[in-house]
Amino acid sequence: MIKQFFFLVIFFFIFAVSVNSSLNCPSNADALDEFKVISSAALLEFLGDPDNSKLSSNEVSDISSFYDKYKDNWGNADCNEIGTISGSTIKVIIEKYTGVIDTRLNCRVENPEWSIGQTFEGTEVTLTVDAPKCNDGATVNFVVKERDFTKDDDGVIKNPDNAAVLNQKATTTWKAEWQRDEEQTPSGPKNDEPPEYYFTASLGSSSVKSGVLTVTKCVDADRDGYSSVTCGGNDCKDNDASIHPNVRELCDTKDNNCNLAADEGGVCGYDLAKRGSFSVGSIIPKIIMILLLAIGTARTMINLLILELQNCVMERIITVI
């Protein structure tokens, strides 16, 4: 009883109070006065009964030295600093003595977000998660599932790639899938479309689940096997089954194969995409124009020749007279 009372006195009356907080120290030791109490109690415990002390002499020495080093500038103290004797971080030593692990100081994942809340099938979306206290390069695992209420959540065909932490964030992408979403009810299966997807991000023992992303099925209006570009597909004209990415380009001024060019590849006789348009219909008027100009020029020359001959004849008649 006397020993317990002695420790209580140490906890509440030893040393002055400080309002400054350190970096990366457990919440029960981030203020200077809190750290002092723990450091002093650990020292007294070790001196009173070294064999049953929670900390070794090296660990007690390290937290005492840490306090002495930063007592006048506690705001610069960082409990991730490694003790010079024990080789353990100050944070680990404090947690070992108090028996309380402050998870907010550990590497973890939080704040999972989709880049958008609703999208079309086939669209690429971005998945992001914060990873505070995690080293760059740590791998975050991403798993996407379709949410169900009456049965187990459904997996997807292809999950996103894992991502490495960079600047305390991890980011990856996923090509949105669409699957039929039916719920089992007492009256039978019920259509619950559009499907709703969530992702789980995990790193070590830490994991977090995102909100939902709804995915709308991309429609193939002309039923040519290719979905419209308006919903993430690659059919540039979804109301014409003769136009899609897998057809041969024709000489018809249309973009038949949906490659953003019309009549390319020499389909009209030579490469129209580079040299401009060419057709028989466009060249005939030019030939006619040239012929007409030639005929007109010839007539003018004949008239000038006739006029010159007339002048010569008149000059001879006048000379004779």
CA distance 37 to 42: 8
Assign residue 35 a region (left: φ > 0; alpha: ψ between -120 and 50; beta: otherwise): alpha
Tens-digit pLDDT profile for residues 134-178: 889 999 999 999 988 767 888 999 999 999 999 999 999 999 998
Tens-digit pLDDT profile for residues 204-261: 888 999 999 999 887 778 888 887 887 767 888 878 888 888 889 889 888 888 988 8
DSSP string, 15-33: S-----B-BS--TTSSBHH
The CATH number, out of the four listed (2.60.40.10, 3.40.1000.10, 3.40.50.460, 3.40.50.880), of the domain defined by the range 110-216: 2.60.40.10
pTM: 0.50
